[in-house]
Amino acid sequence: MKKLLTIILALSAVIVALACGSNDPEVDGTTGATEVNGGEGEGTAKGKMLVIYFSRAGENWQVGVVERGNTAIMVDYIQDLADVDVFEIVPEVAYPQGYEDTKTVATAEFNDNARPAIKTDITNIADYGTVFIGGPIWWGRPPMLFRTFFEKHPELDGKTIIPFGTHGGSGVSSYTSLLKEYFPNATILESLGISGASIRDSSSKGTVENWLKRLGVDKQSTAISNVRTRAATNGVSYSISGIRSGNQLGIQIRDGQKYINRR
């Protein structure tokens, strides 16, 4: 009888232990955790970011002869302030050094509805969720080179696109219009145009920074949102000394993953 009682007690202890175990989330959040935003290949809230641009060095409107084009300077600021990869659209036939000569070539390209050839191509646009696209304004519009590029890259449709560029007074809204024409399913965000004549002024970098912050794509903003998000129910926290502190609701970052603990 005593032996039978011992067996029953031992079995009860095992049952209780098993039951408790299944309710007890592990410290790394894997037990009871539901993945919200972290499927295969998804590392960031907005996805990886890419800048695609064209810019012409040489003699230009109001800035004289420059070694680096105005839009290229704007790209330098973006690259400094946001976590981006950069692709430059390089024409197969370089535009002339002279401003007047470039105007002649650009006029002919518009009149002929030309598709100037591009020297280099990019094959992994699919890897990016957000794409900045920008350049100069030529005769009130993006150079025809952009049409060549857009026609080669239908995969830009559906992306989040941020237009930008430099100009001599026209603004860059024509980039937004052309992008909408080519990529009706893209989400086109707020653009930024800066006058080419003032792009080298120290205040211009601040203008770029404020714009990136407004869009939530500057380095500081993406540092948090890039952390993988997992939702964990019944999350438990432990102090550094290992003492369990019970369920903690809210956001925690552990081992490079962001957990949202909720009931």
Ligand X SMILES: Cc1cc2nc3c(=O)[nH]c(=O)nc-3n(C[C@H](O)[C@H](O)[C@H](O)COP(=O)(O)O)c2cc1C
Residues that bind ligand X (CB under 6 A): 55-56, 60-61, 69-72, 99, 102-103, 106, 136-140, 166-170, 196
For the bound state, the minimum distance from the C-beta of residue 240 to ligand X, rounded and expressed in Å, comes to 52
For the bound state, the minimum distance from the C-beta of residue 170 to ligand X, rounded and expressed in Å, comes to 3
Q: Which of residues 30 and 97 has its CB atom nearest to ligand X in the complex?
A: 97
For the bound state, the minimum distance from the C-beta of residue 58 to ligand X, rounded and expressed in Å, comes to 8
Q: If you write DSSP's letter for every residue of 199-233 in order, what string do you get?
A: TTSHHHHHHHHHHHHHHT-SHHHHHHHTSEEEEEE
For the bound state, the minimum distance from the C-beta of residue 139 to ligand X, rounded and expressed in Å, comes to 5
Find the angle CA(46)-CA(47)-CA(48) to the nearest 5 degrees: 125
The residue at minimum Cβ distance from ligand X is 196
Q: d(Cα 137, Cα 122) in Å, to the nearest integer?
A: 23
- Closest Cα partner for 122 from 95, 96, 155, 97? 155
Q: Which of residues 138 and 259 has its CB atom nearest to ligand X in the complex?
A: 138
CB 44 within 8 A of CB 175: no
Q: Which of residues 72 and 188 has its CB atom nearest to ligand X in the complex?
A: 72
User: In the 8-state DSSP scheme, what is residue 152?
Assistant: H
Q: Which of residues 132 and 259 has its CB atom nearest to ligand X in the complex?
A: 132
Q: Which of residues 29 and 196 has its CB atom nearest to ligand X in the complex?
A: 196
For the bound state, the minimum distance from the C-beta of residue 65 to ligand X, rounded and expressed in Å, comes to 11
The region that residue 55 occupies, defined by phi over 0 for left and psi between -120 and 50 for alpha, beta otherwise, is: beta
